[in-house]
Amino acid sequence: MTYLRPAVGAPTASPPGKTLMSDKLQSLGISVYHEIRQDILMARLPPSQKLGLKFLSERYNCGASPIREALNQLTVEGWVVRIDKRGFFVADASPEDFADILHNRCFIEGEALRRSIALGGAAWEEEVLLTHFRMSNLDRREGDPSSADVAAWETAHRNFHKALISACGSRLMLENCARLYDLNIRYRVLARRKSHTSRRVSDEHDEIKTLTLRRDADGAVDALVRHYLATGDFLFPKD
């Protein structure tokens, strides 16, 4: 019996020749974890969806053990809710939850940016400049973007925001921000709106970048918070 299985979405044909013994083959549980996480993030698994072990075993093509492993991790991270002896469910989504995420982002990421501006050195400045430039290039393309373009922009956008706060000096803060960022993506997908194409988001990013590199902490944090709040209003106008 073998634990190997075809990579996700890849053709069943194996790569030529060597099996490459320990070459980066992560355990099954971890890769399934990433798959499920992505599916929840992208709302392919909608909120409150029942996550039966059998259903998931078939969907992700593996045994129940790796599935349980993945679900456990997702439970702690808040993507999945577990009801003892009754199974797993995709976490609910609500406007209140979204608002909570939004305000926590403003609060924590604002402080992280402030500290980065205070502590960041030349390498940090260059990283901010670079990631912003890369994102801007993708921004320029108009028309109907392919899904590959969207994915590329998503990555560039994440890298930019990550770069902004990367010099804050606190591991816990960075982890927190990363988690909040992902939680937020889910709501962006659920609202089925692409904020980056419909608003003048690139102007907002420009402003954040400029004020940050100018070491204007108050201005940069203010711009960042306004950027987030504007996105929030755009996604859920009523609130």
Partner DNA sequence: GGTCGCAACTTTATCGACAATTTCAGGATT
Partner DNA sequence: AATCCTGAAATTGTCGATAAAGTTGCGACC
Binding footprint of DNA on the chain (CB under 7 A): 1-5, 19, 21-22, 25, 27-29, 51-54, 62-66, 68-69, 82, 84-88
Residue 136 tokens read as 């801007």
Residues 81-100 binding a second copy (CB under 8 A) are 84-85, 97, 100
Residues 125-164 binding a second copy (CB under 8 A) are none
Name which of DNA, a second copy, none residue 63 binds, using a CB cut-off of 5 to 8 Å depending on partner kind. Answer: DNA
**Residue 222 makes contact with a second copy by CB under 8 A:** no
Q: Would you say 73 or 159 has its CB closer to a second copy?
A: 73
Structure letter (DSSP) for residue 52: -
Name which of a second copy, DNA, none residue 172 binds, using a CB cut-off of 5 to 8 Å depending on partner kind. Answer: a second copy
**CB-based burial of residue 210 (10 Å sphere; 0-12 exposed, 13-18 middle, 19+ buried)?**
middle
174 neighbors 164 (Cβ within 8 angstroms): no
Cα angle 23, 28, 32 (rounded to 5 degrees) comes to 125
Name which of DNA, a second copy, none residue 170 binds, using a CB cut-off of 5 to 8 Å depending on partner kind. Answer: a second copy
DSSP sequence for 10-37: S-SPPPSS---TTSS---HHHHHHHHHH
Name which of a second copy, DNA, none residue 108 binds, using a CB cut-off of 5 to 8 Å depending on partner kind. Answer: a second copy
Q: Would you say 14 or 146 has its CB closer to DNA?
A: 14
Residues 6+ apart with CB under 8 A from 129: 209, 213
Closest separation in Å from C-beta 2 to DNA: 3
**Residue 8 makes contact with a second copy by CB under 8 A:** no
Given 30, 123, 130, 151, the residue binding a second copy (CB under 8 A): 30
Residues 6+ apart with CB under 8 A from 17: none
**What binding mask, one character per residue, do residues 55-74 give for a second copy by CB under 8 A, x or -?**
----------x--xx--xx-
Report the candidate in 210, 204, 211 with the shortest Cα–Cα distance to residue 234: 204
What whole-number distance in Å separates Cα of residue 89 and Cα of residue 42?
16
Closest separation in Å from C-beta 135 to a second copy: 27
Closest separation in Å from C-beta 78 to DNA: 18
Cα atoms in the Cβ-side hemisphere of radius 13 Å centred on 34: 7
What whole-number distance in Å separates Cα of residue 224 and Cα of residue 181?
13
Closest separation in Å from C-beta 113 to a second copy: 13
Q: Applying CB under 8 A, which residues contact a second copy?
A: 22, 26-27, 29-30, 65, 68-69, 72-73, 75-77, 84-85, 97, 100-101, 103-104, 107-108, 111, 170-173, 176, 180
